Chains A and B, each alone.
Chain A
Amino acid sequence: MTDATITPVPSPPKTPLTEADPRTKKRNAAEKRFQYYGIAAIAVGLFFLIVLMVSIVRSGLPAFTQAVVSVDFTLTEEQYDEAEAQLFKTAAYQSYFNAVLREELRERGLDVDFDEAAIERILGKTGGTLREFFRANEDQLGQPVSFELSASSRVDGYFKGRVTREALQDSRFLQQSDLDLVDALADAGIVFSALNWNFITGADSGVDNPGGAGIGASVVGSFFMMLVVLFLSLPIGVAASIYLEEFAPQNKFTDLIEVNISNLAAVPSIVFGILGLAVFIQFMHLPQSAPLVGGLVLALMTLPTIIISTRASLKAVPPSIREAALGVGASKMQAVFHHVLPLAMPGILTGTIIGLAQALGETAPLLLIGMVGFVARGYPDGFVAGFTDPNSAMPAQIYTWAARADVSFYEKAWGGIIILLVFLLTMNAIAIILRRRFERRW
């Protein structure tokens, strides 16, 4: 026998099964270690998620509040006429206002002295706002009007802890002594933190006015872009999928198209941006910074996502349904449009919403077609103008803020992210609900 020539390996001393031998112990330790690596990897991933979420919420929430100064102000008609007669009209309004403010403080027993310059540092130039109001509402003259005026961004920062007494260096923006005044005003309940509606509904402000910046206009920009994306990519995507899935012959050519679609889905978004710039702006001369162009570019990017998910849901419809329809004499067209498509609809919608959510968060291509910078100055004038007027979009607006020098804008950028994420979360939640409700098993 051949085996006889082989010297048997001295087998380890026979241990009963109930006792682990040293080697097994070592192996089991390795097993445990390996498992811990896996747990550690997941923990690290989740840790990053938590850090990300915490930093978004912590840095973003302050953007939704704003320190305001609330003052009841009465302007008599004589004062109005007097002020309008002066050369520096807003300065006149401002001095009226300061007088009221001083009176208010004295009434509450706070005797803090301040000069006009300090008020200006805290509140900005108030005269212009007051004049505009009274010129527009002359009937309010002589009646007490309650004003809520936003404090300057540095005072706002002091309220939110971003600006501290120790770190503050006297400058023309804010001085140590001003903070005493702010404290006094806060004690008197004249300055307080209020919900910053302007941030949610307003438009972008200039680089030197972080307090007035709002994301509202760019939300509208994003909305118009999504409309374009939806009305372009959904019909085209669905039509292409139906053709590929139901009608196209299986040959080299359709195979090539299929490979191309999955490759298209992985092309970097910035390349789509360059493409958009070259084709839509340079070649077709569509207006720069317009949601229409942004929508066109994003539609190109969303198309593969929609096609892939549509084809998957068409595939999920069992052939028996097609055969049943064909069997009662329906044409292939009728079978697809009357029977297959309605059954695949929930899947298609889910895919579309997810595609739209991706498009909504996409930034890079928008940078190239000029949707950054100081574009979202105001709301578009009408529905059509919404597509063609220069506007920004949410992610592009966030980028614009992040790229500005004034750190006060960072808070706005984080706040913008919260709003963007709320939109995305809603869209994904709708997609999940749709999927759950219409999920069908054949």
Chain B
Amino acid sequence: MALIFNTVEFFNLYPASEFFTSLSWAPSFSGRGGSSELGLLPLLWGTLYISIVALIVAVPIGLFSAIYLSEYASSNVRSFAKPLLGILAGIPTIVYGLFALLTVGPLLVSVFGDGGWLGVSWQGGGRAVMTAGLVMGIMLIPFVSSLSDDIINAVPQSMRDGSYGLGATKSETIRQVVLPAALPGIAGAILLAASRAIGETMIVVLGAGAAARLSLNPFEAMTTVTAKIVSQLTGDSDFASPEALVAFALGMSLFVITLTLNVIALYIVRKYREQYD
């Protein structure tokens, strides 16, 4: 409720049309005044870009480990590898943030940066879309893997038997029967992971940088909705200024986006479960 109230107040001070369509984000630091440009799009772009990188990392690794664990691995391997991957899920995000800032960022710079191993100078600083995306991907691996594992296990054994009975190999069965059958559920799981990535804060605050820009270069620093919420509301700001109130509008947008994703994802997963119950 308070969120809505503050959001409404923000839109009283700042036109909504500009908030949703403006292509630039340039708050003035003077506090009050109409000189600030507070466009959502650059932030949303950064958020999406980082989330996409994260999913590109997490989905194949998570999905393949789920497939291996549920279809191939012996129970010994399973009881050993599953909790280990689970540890990745239990690590607080601040740890990943620090990991991005102090380990992965410098590492990427030493590969892609000026004078790096590849001899290219794509990356200027440790904070970049790539850094945050990669680390966020690592964080999401166990999330994707455990959800997909559940979903793959829900595919009835009779379906697999049918395929084996026709002389299909295990991988043919998985690729052509199990995965298509599990597809809706896996799509739901990926949506849930995406909503997590969009709402993730600490990794992007520490790993992605603070510059709001619309760019395609994954080695550039960009910023996200969550990172901007933090930067607008920490420090001694005046709660009545548009620069602070914009955070509530950002939070509201974030809430709406993730909620929509979650509702769709949970609906899909539920529907999928019912199908095989």
Chain A positions within 8 Å of B, measured between CB atoms, are 27-28, 30-31, 33-35, 37-42, 44-46, 48-49, 51-52, 55-56, 59, 259, 262-263, 266-271, 273-275, 277-279, 282-283, 357, 360-364, 367-368, 370, 372-373, 395, 398-399, 402-403, 410, 413-414, 417, 420-421, 424, 428
Contacts and interface: CB of A to CB of B under 8 A. Distances in A.
Contacts of B230: 270, 364, 367-368
Contact of B95 (A31, A56, A274): A56
B97 interface: yes
Nearest to A368: B233
Contacts of B91: 52, 361, 421
Given A45-B65, A283-B2, A367-B234, A263 B88 contact: no
Contacts, number: 201
A270 B141 contact: no
A368 B229 contact: yes
Contact of A271 (B84, B90, B98, B254): B254
B199 A35 contact: no
B102 A59 contact: yes
A271 B62 CA distance: 27
20 contacts: A30-B169, A35-B68, A35-B170, A38-B64, A38-B65, A38-B68, A41-B64, A48-B141, A52-B95, A56-B95, A263-B262, A270-B251, A271-B3, A271-B254, A364-B93, A370-B234, A399-B205, A402-B101, A414-B98, A424-B92
Interface-central residue, B85, B103, B172, B248, by most chain A CB under 10 Å? B103
B2 A279 contact: yes
Interface in B107-166: 138, 141-142, 145
Contacts of A424: 90, 92
Contacts of B198: 268
A106 to B, nearest CB: 43
A363 B202 contact: yes
A413 B101 CA distance: 11
A40 B81 CA distance: 13
B251 A45 contact: no
A399 B97 CA distance: 9
B87 interface: yes
B182 interface: no
Interface in B66-112: 67-69, 71-72, 81, 84-85, 87-88, 90-95, 97-99, 101-103
Contacts of B266: 259, 262-263
Contacts of B206: 399, 402-403
A273 B142 CA distance: 25
Contact of B3 (A274, A357, A403): A274
A132 B166 CA distance: 86
Nearest to B96: A52
Contacts of B72: 35, 38
B171 interface: yes
A224 B168 CA distance: 59
Contacts of B63: 41
Contact of A275 (B2, B103, B196, B263): B2
